Chain A
Amino acid sequence: MLFSQARGLPVLTLTEAEEIGVLRSLTVDAASGVVTHVRVRGRHSRKETVLPWGALHALGPDAVLVRSAAAPAEVPAHHELPGLRILAETGYELGTVKDVAFEPETGRVEAVVSAHGEVPADRLLGLGDYALVVRAG
C-alpha cells in the first residue's frame, strides 16, 4: 500500500464503529523502517489525534479500524515524508519523496518512491526536519 492511498481513509473504532476522523499522515521511524504512529484528524473538530501503530486492528483499502482511540503517552516528532528532500549520506540530493510503499499488515516500510526511482527501506538512515538521509546505493 502507498501512503497516498492510505491518506484520507476513514478511521473507525472496532467495537462501536464510531468514526473518529480521517487518516492524515503516517509517522515513520527511519532507523527501524516501520510506521510507528498514525495521525487522525477529526472531520468536524479538526483536532489531530495520534495513535500508535499497535492500536490499529486493520488497515484496509476502504477504512482503518482501531481498537482504542486513546492517545499514547509519548508522541515522537513527526516528519512528513511526502515532499521531503532525500539526501544521500555522501551529501548529494536525490530528489524529493513522492510516496512511500508499506505493508498495511505490519507497518513495515518497503520503499520510498522518488522521481529518480525507488529507495528500498534498508537504505534509510535517518529522518529529520531537513531531509531523509539514505545510504548511497
Chain B
Amino acid sequence: MNELMAARSLTTLPVVTLGGDAVAQIKDTVFDAAAGRVTGFTLSGRGLLSGPLKQSLPWTAVHSLGHDAVMIRDALALRETSVVVARREAQQGRVLHAKVLTDEGTEVGTVLDVIVEGGTSGRVVGFRIAAGKALVQGSRRRRHRVYVPRGETLAVSGRALVIPADATRYVADDLPAFVARVGAFHDERKGTPP
C-alpha cells in the first residue's frame, strides 16, 4: 500500500511538472460527494505574497501524489477552478467537522481530517477524528485524536457520516499504526461472507 497522508498536510505541497518546474502549490483538497476519493486540488501561487490561483488541478491530471510533491505531466493540465470544484464549499463543509456515527447508531466523534492514499489512486482510506466517549474511555479533558478506517460503503449526509461498527475496532493513534490497521481491516472484510 502507498503512503497515507492527511489531506490538511497537503496544503503548501508544491505542484511540479515532470519537466521539473514548480507551477503552483496546493491550497485545498477537494473530495467527491461520497468522500470516497480526491477529485482535485485548488491551488495558490508559490511564494510568500502570491494569492490563490484562478486555475485548479483535476485529479485526472495528477501523475502521482507523493510525500514531497504532487507530480503532473505539464502545466497544461490545470483547469478553470469552476470545472474542478463545482460544489467545493458544500463538500468541504460536509466532511470536516461532520459527526461520525457507526451503523449501529453510536456516535464516535467528529471529523478533523481526511486520510488519503498517495500514488495514483486518490482513495480516501479513513478519517482523523476527535474521539467521543463511546470510542475512547477516559476524561473529557484528555481529548483523544484517533484514526478510523472508512468502510467500503460509507454514507455521508449534510452533517454526519456513517461507518461500519467493526471499523471502530481498527482505530489507531498515529498514521504509521493506522497503515497496518487499514490493511487488517480490509483483509477481514474480504474474509467475511456478505
- The interface of chain A, by Cβ under 8 A from chain B, is 30, 79, 87-93, 125-133
B191 contacts partner chain A, Cβ-Cβ < 8 Å: no
How distant is the Cα of A87 from the Cα of B72 in the complex, in angstroms?
12
A90 touches B19 (CB 8 A): no
Which residues in B have their C-beta under 8 angstroms from that of A128? 16-17, 19-22
B18 contacts partner chain A, Cβ-Cβ < 8 Å: yes
B71 touches A87 (CB 8 A): yes
- The interface of chain B, by Cβ under 8 A from chain A, is 14, 16-22, 63-71, 118-119
Please give me the residue from chain B that is nearest to A85 by CB atom.
Answer: B68
Please give me the residue from chain B that is nearest to A126 by CB atom.
Answer: B19
Which residues in A have their C-beta under 8 angstroms from that of B19? 125-128, 133
Interface centre among B22, B70, B119 (most CB of A within 10 A): B22
B68 touches A130 (CB 8 A): no
How distant is the Cα of A8 from the Cα of B90 in the complex, in angstroms?
59
Interface centre among B19, B22, B118, B119 (most CB of A within 10 A): B19
Contact partner, B71, options A30, A79, A89, A132, Cβ 8 Å: A89
Contact partner, B63, options A79, A89, A131, A132, Cβ 8 Å: A89
Which residues in B have their C-beta under 8 angstroms from that of A131? 16, 20, 22, 69
How distant is the Cα of A87 from the Cα of B16 in the complex, in angstroms?
9
Closest 10 pairs between A and B when the two form their complex, measured CB to CB: A91-B66, A128-B20, A128-B21, A130-B22, A126-B19, A93-B68, A90-B64, A126-B20, A91-B69, A92-B66
Which residues in A have their C-beta under 8 angstroms from that of B68? 87, 91-93
Please give me the residue from chain A that is nearest to B3 by CB atom.
Answer: A92
CB distance from A28 to the nearest CB of B (A): 11
